[in-house]
Amino acid sequence: MIRTEAEYRKALLSLEEAVGQIPQKLTADPAYQREFLLCQANRRRFMPGDQRDEIGFFRGIHYHRELTKLEARTDTALTLARTVAEGALDPVRRPDQPYLFCSFHLGPFMQLGPYLNRQGFRLGVLTESGIRTDQLHLQAASDRLRIIDANAPDSLIDMMSQLQEGISLVAFFDGGEGVHDCRNRETLLPVTLMDRPYYCRKGLFYLSYVTRTPIVPVVSWREGQTLKLSFGEAIVPDRSLSRTGFIETAARQAFDWATPFIRAYPEQFALWHNLHRFTDLPAAEPAPTWPGEHTATIRVRFNEERFRVFSGEASHFLFDDATCQCFNISPALAKWLAWLQQQQGEQWDRLQSGVKPSLLTDLLNKQILRPSLN
């Protein structure tokens, strides 16, 4: 536990030094390489046209991820001294009434619980399996915290019971890999995040409706050493709407409100490597049809709109932006694809002189090669 400002500054310097090694890790560590490719594919999907340097953006993601861990190891009094709350604060001043405080994985998101606790709220926190109290930067005995496993079969009943007892809940709209089954679209609600389809869980909005508990949307971000919490207007259950109508309206309101913050601080958003799990990936395109008698004269090129070649010190990947799949390839194929990518197009029969025809056909069928318009 970090208990003094001097200890925090020392740990922060170590963190900055470690994050500064990200470019070197990208050449040596396959795990970093795969995560890098996923983050960039999702950034192109959700923020098309963004001009930030790829490695710098990835380094920023890791910097804020490590800051979140550092803040969790820091004494609550120190982090709360740097926390500033703004926005619609009326619910924060009413700890006697239960609320659903729902946030996003942006910035210092783990500081919401400690902040509310210091305002006098009794809290339950909805988390994935295996999260402990100490990992949430709270001590159950002094902070009156209860952890709810989101994957437990009775979690909804548990949450209802706590709200009836006057205990507020902290949860996340944007979910997470371990919090809900993102593969089962029928259990999720389609909304829009940064102008892209996004699937969130319905349970929080359902819970608000059936228990008549207001939802308070919250976002957090860092400005230098200041930890900012912004509270949106409470979403009060409208019983004149059907349950489905309220769920859809409330979800749209929450995500629309949060999107400008995520756009403003994208490097502080912790889910870049997982966003493809919560959106619709493009349908596979049919492989191009080749006229057999003219195949030899057709020029082909590397399909750089969809695929990327990444080579590290000892690992080589072909990454598919459309499916977010990463394939290990040989050094020779990586070198050949990188060469072809630099070409304006190469005639099919010339390519056959250096690569097995069966491999060329496979690359064609998988759309790694495409007809060149030049």
C-alpha span between 83 and 263 (Å, rounded): 21
Three-class SS state of 33: helix
Residues 187 and 116 in one domain: yes
Residues 296 and 257 in one domain: no
Residues 361 and 327 in one domain: yes
Residues 320 and 218 in one domain: no
Cβ atoms of 331 and 311 closer than 8 Å: yes
Is 115 a domain residue? yes
Residues 225 and 324 in one domain: no
Residues 313 and 217 in one domain: no
Residues 210 and 355 in one domain: no
- Residue 350, domain CATH: 3.40.366.30
Is 316 a domain residue? yes
Number of domains in the chain: 2
Three-class SS state of 192: strand
Residues 91 and 228 in one domain: yes
C-alpha span between 58 and 77 (Å, rounded): 30
Residues 100 and 218 in one domain: yes
Q: Which residue's structure tokens are 């002094």? A: 142
Is 323 a domain residue? yes
Three-class SS state of 317: strand
Residues 226 and 326 in one domain: no
- Domain final residue, candidates 224, 252, 268: 268
C-alpha span between 224 and 144 (Å, rounded): 31
Residues 252 and 304 in one domain: no
Range of the domain at 118: 73-268
pLDDT of the chain along its 374 residues, tens only? 899 999 999 999 999 999 999 999 999 999 999 999 999 999 999 999 999 999 999 999 999 999 999 999 999 999 999 999 999 999 999 999 999 999 999 999 999 999 999 999 999 988 865 444 444 444 443 455 778 887 788 888 899 999 999 999 999 998 765 545 566 677 789 999 999 999 998 989 999 999 999 999 999 999 999 999 999 999 999 999 999 999 999 999 999 999 999 999 999 999 999 999 998 887 766 666 665 544 666 788 899 999 999 998 889 999 999 999 999 999 999 999 999 888 877 877 777 777 888 888 889 889 999 887 66
Residues 220 and 157 in one domain: yes
- The pTM of the whole model exceeds 0.85: yes
